[in-house]
Amino acid sequence: MSGLILLGAAGPALADGLPAREPGLWQSTTTVTGPDGQPLANAVNVVTVSCVDALNDQKFFLSNQSACSNLRVSGDGGSYKIDGMCTQSGKPSVIHETLDYADTKDVALTAQLGDMTVHSQLQWQGDCMDGMQPGDEGDIENGAFVKADNINDTADQ
């Protein structure tokens, strides 16, 4: 979900102020709602996966800060907020993200992006699948990983 600029007992905090997630395969189940609060077509319980390591973990929530300016991370314990200004499809957009860490293997994300709201539940699944590189994002089809992109690709930044 990096195209959307995607963020108890938590792990040690990283430099940007967010707790470190468990390295490995993470599954995200996401629903996007419009200004009327109704889910957008084809945006209900969309399941994607990503391969997370210590170097790429926060890039998924902070867009590697390349498309955003003045990002502010606040919070502690298990609840954090990210606010700032980002560029979406060439247009400036204010973002507000809330991350609730049940622990280092279970994170809930709510992001307000313009008139859309993104709700994601992220859960650790274990080791990354064969053929995945840290930062890879995509889905699983017939038991195999299908890569959509990598958080480090220049097109994502």
For all residues of the chain together, what is the average pLDDT?
84
pLDDT band at residue 18 under the 50/70/90 scheme? confident
Above 50 in pLDDT, residue 109?
A: yes
* Alpha-carbon span 8 to 10, nearest angstrom: 6
Does the structure show a pLDDT above 50 at 14? no
How much is the pLDDT for 154? 64
The predicted-structure confidence for 28-82, as pLDDT tens digits, reads as follows: 999 999 999 999 999 999 999 999 999 999 888 876 556 677 788 899 889 999 8
Phi/psi region, residue 63 (left: phi>0; alpha: psi -120 to 50; beta: rest), is left
Residue where the block lists tokens 């089809």:
141
Instruction: Calculate mean pLDDT across residues 20-28.
Output: 96
Highest mean pLDDT pick, 11-15, 68-72, 91-95, 140-144: 140-144
**pTM for the structure as a whole:** 0.82
What pLDDT is stored for residue 152 in this prediction? 85
| Averaged pLDDT, 136-148 | 95
| CA separation for the pair 73, 68 (Å, rounded) | 13
Name which residue leads in pLDDT, 83 or 50. 50
- Confidence (pLDDT) at 60: 83
